[in-house]
Amino acid sequence: MNRTFQPIVCELKQIDIQRPISIIMPNGISLNIINSGEQEVTRLDLIFRGGRWHQSQKLQALFTNRMLREGSRSYTSTAIAAKLDYYGSWLDLSTSVEHSYITLYSLNKYFKETLEILESVIKEPVFPEKELSTVIDSNIQQFQVNSTKVDYLAHRSLLNASFGDQHPCGQILGEEDYRNITPKALHEFYDTHYHSGNCTIYLSGKVTDEIIQNVQSVFGTEPFGDTNRQIVKQEYAIVTASEKKIFTERADAMQSAVKMGNLTIERTHPDYLKLRVLITLFGGYFGSRLMSNIREDKGYTYGISAGILFYPDNGLLMVSTEAANEYVEPLITEVYHEIDKLQNETVGQEELSMVKNYMVGEMCRNYESPFSISDAWIFILTTGLADDYFSHSLQAIKEVTPQELRDLACRYLCKEKLKEVVAGKKMS
């Protein structure tokens, strides 16, 4: 190998992400199998439609999911933890705005044993009051800690200002919301959402025929839960605050958190895939315009980023950073300066080429393991995007032009609509 010559850069012509093999099991659940990898490890994902958007009280979806591991009719919380630990397995429970996820990582040789525990966790949870009280106390402590962090306060304020108090994405939590959670509330959410008629399963890793048969035997033969329950998506009005500048005081803060944002397009919009390139160039990677100016040149912050967060039917464009109090206003000024440049000047080919190469490289890295491939198709499922989303993403990256980026900046980087949310010490 001659290291005095740069390796040839090969252009990625197309992206081929392994598609899952889909089976509709006798009880109607879709089982999606991604057989890949060399390690004797398998991941099982069960996805139930139902998250914050569907709850009748704050935190109901989160605690229903979180409490599944805290006891069932067959196992106590201690027994569940001990058995999973003994078999070298890991159970991850999480929720989003519209979905609840149960993810089991297991060694293949103990998959049948861990699946037996998972079956009990999902099909017969009891939501014990003593364990619930302990979990609530722990979460309240974490909430109290978070409430002292300026980044958390600013993020919460931006969501509230963008969506409004009554919208699931804009609601502000208080300690009383944790105290209002009861076993009855969790049973109600569980009965409505955790059943075979509302479930999709993904199986990834070194998947054997025996593992598939085990999953079909446990989760695919008979219906479980109340399958007659209908999931109704409620409609919520968005009430955006009129204020442009929003400040939350944290008197003892050493520095301030800055969030600048406004509602924008969702992933299904025709402009989105090329807008991703603009946002990456603006603030989406370490060599972005915001990082080069505000971190490297001005030294106002250690890091600054821009991105789009997605919620049902909406996106939220957000610039996020933390800085010393005296740098907050100059920092905001520089963000607007970078927006002006994107709107009035075309991006150079060298810079655009670097951004494109970065984004294509990230796509390749993100879809190279069986678990990340599974994540990709779970993403398609939960967002409702078409199966050709990834190929269209690559095409958009390769085809976008400097002129298109300038037009997109004029259309979506609107300085007048950006809210300036700051949390920190009040400057005299």
The reported pLDDT for the residue numbered 381 is: 96
The pTM (predicted TM-score) of the whole model is 0.93
Predicted confidence (pLDDT) at residue 60 exceeds the cutoff of 80 = yes
Confidence of residue 338 (pLDDT cuts 50, 70, 90): very high
Average pLDDT along the chain: 95
pLDDT at 383: 95
CATH number of 245-424: 3.30.830.10
Alpha-carbon distance 265 to 412, whole Å? 9
pLDDT in tens, 346-392: 999 999 999 999 999 999 888 889 999 999 999 999 999 999 999 99
Q: Which of 136, 65, 140 is nearest to 95 (CA)?
A: 65
Q: Helix axis angle, 272-279 relative to 389-399, nearest 10°?
A: 60
Rg of the chain over all Cα atoms, to the nearest angstrom: 24
**Predicted confidence (pLDDT) at residue 9 exceeds the cutoff of 80:** no
The answer on pLDDT for 149 being more than 80 is: yes
Q: Please check whether the two domains, 21-220 and 245-424, share a CATH topology.
A: yes
What pLDDT, on the 0 to 100 scale, is given for residue 193?
97
State mean pLDDT over 291-317: 96
For residue 208, the tally of other CB atoms under 10 A from its CB is 14
Helix (H) or strand (E) holding 196: none
Q: Tell me the pLDDT band of 234, cut-offs 50, 70 and 90.
A: confident
In CATH, the number for domain 21-220 is: 3.30.830.10
Between β-strands 30-35 and 41-49, what pairing exists: parallel, antiparallel or unpaired?
Answer: unpaired
User: Is the per-residue pLDDT at 428 higher than 70?
Assistant: no
pLDDT of residue 359: 95
What are the tens digits of pLDDT across the range 27-37?
A: 999 999 999 98
Domain boundaries, the chain: 21-220, 245-424
pLDDT at 146 over 90: yes
Name which residue leads in pLDDT, 1 or 82.
82
Handedness of CA 343, 345, 347, 351 (dihedral sign): negative
pLDDT value of residue 427: 74
Encode pLDDT of 169-185 as tens digits: 999 999 999 999 999 99
Interval 136-161 mean pLDDT: 97
